[in-house]
Structure formats: structure tokens, C-alpha cells
Amino acid sequence: MACICDICKKGELSGNNVSHSNRHVKRSWKPNIQKVKAVVDGEVKSVNVCTRCLRSGKVTRAI
């Protein structure tokens, strides 16, 4: 499953772990993506949505 929200296009971010001795090691932050059945343009579709979009009501879940 792709780590990209279909609504807001939020994706993976990269950066560094920085230790106390100031060593840098690459790491990544992934968004919390859920596969949800949602109503899109009047049809029920399975979409990948981040939890921020689910919580804010940008997506209406199909029942």
C-alpha cells in the first residue's frame, strides 16, 4: 500500500535521528494511512486516507 493520502497527498517525510553525541542517522516519518471505503463522487470506493482527514470530516465513510 502506498504511503500517500488520496485526499490531502500527505506522504513520507525524511530527516535525521540525532544522538546525544550528535551523530546523524537517516530516518523517515510515515503518516497514519488507513484503507477506508468512502463515498467519492456518489460512488463507494476504497481509498487510502490519513487519520487527520478522517477525523476532520473531509471523507464520508460508506456504511
Which domains occur in the chain, in start order?
1-62 (2.30.170.40)
Which pLDDT belongs to residue 1? 64
| Cα–chain center distance at 17 | 21
Kindly report, residue by residue over 1-52, the tens digit of the pLDDT.
Answer: 679 999 999 999 999 999 999 999 999 999 999 999 999 999 999 999 999 9
* pLDDT computed for residue 63 by the predictor: 81
Cα atoms in the Cβ-side hemisphere of radius 13 Å centred on 35? 4
Tally of residues, the chain: 63
Q: Cα separation of 63 and 24, whole Å?
A: 46
Does the predicted model carry a pTM greater than 0.85?
no
The reported pLDDT for the residue numbered 11 is: 97
**pLDDT at 18 (0 to 100):** 98
Backbone angles phi, psi at 51, to 5 degrees: -70, -25
Per DSSP, the three-state class of 56 is helix
